[in-house]
Chains A and B, each alone.
Chain A
Amino acid sequence: MKQDAFVLSRWMEGTGPEADTVISSRVRIARNIEGIPFPYLASDEQTAAVLAQVSQTAAAQKEAFDDFVYHRMADLSHQAKQVLVEKHLISPFLAKESHNGGVLLRRDEAVSILINEEDHLRIQAILPGLQLEEAWQEANRYDDLLETGINYAFDERYGYLTACPTNVGTGLRASVMLHLPALIMTKQVNRLLGALSQVGLAVRGLYGEGTEIIGNLVQVSNQITLGLTEEEILRNLYGVTRQIIEQEQQARQALLNDSRQRITDRSWRALGLLHYARIMSSQEAMQLLSDVRLGYDLGLIDNIDRKLLNELLVIIRPATLQLLAGKELGAEDRDLERPLQIKKRLNRYVDKTES
Chain B
Amino acid sequence: MICQECGQEQANVFITKIINGKKIELHLCERCAREKEELEFSFQPQFTLHNLFGGLLHENIRGSRDQIRIAKTQCPSCALTFAQFSQIGRLGCSDCFAAFGDKLQPLLRRIHGSARHTGKVPRRGQGAVLAKRELERLKEELHRAVQKEEFEEAARLRDQIRAMEKDLEQGGNEA
Contact = CB atoms under 8 A, between A and B. Distances in A.
Interface of A: 32, 34-38, 40-41, 118, 140, 143-144, 147, 151-166, 168-170, 172, 194, 197-200, 202-204, 209-210, 223-230, 233
B90 interface: yes
Top-9 shortest CB links A-B: A227-B114, A159-B117, A153-B94, A226-B112, A170-B119, A202-B45, A37-B93, A161-B94, A41-B92
B90 A118 contact: yes
Interface residues of A: mostly helix, strand, loop or mixed? loop
A165 B109 CA distance: 10
Given A165-B89, A227-B114, 19 more contacts: A38-B90, A118-B90, A144-B123, A155-B94, A155-B117, A156-B117, A157-B115, A165-B111, A169-B112, A197-B45, A198-B17, A198-B18, A200-B19, A210-B46, A226-B108, A226-B112, A226-B117, A227-B112, A227-B117
Contact of B115 (A35, A143, A158): A158
B104 interface: yes
Contacts of A155: 94, 97-98, 117
Interface string B113-129: 11111111111110001
A158 B42 contact: no
On chain B, which size bracket covers the interface? Answer: 35 or more
A229 B116 contact: no
A227 B123 contact: no
B161 interface: no
A165 B116 CA distance: 13
Interface string B27-49: 00000000000000111011001
A92 to B, nearest CB: 15
A74 B93 CA distance: 24
B16 interface: yes
B86 to A, nearest CB: 11
A40 B17 CA distance: 34
A109 B104 CA distance: 37
A8 to B, nearest CB: 31
Given A158-B108, A166-B49, A200 B92 contact: no
A166 to B, nearest CB: 6
A146 B114 CA distance: 28
Nearest to B114: A227
Contact of B117 (A37, A158, A194, A209): A158
A286 B19 CA distance: 35
B132 A38 contact: no
B155 interface: no
B97 A156 contact: no
B173 interface: no
A34 B112 contact: no
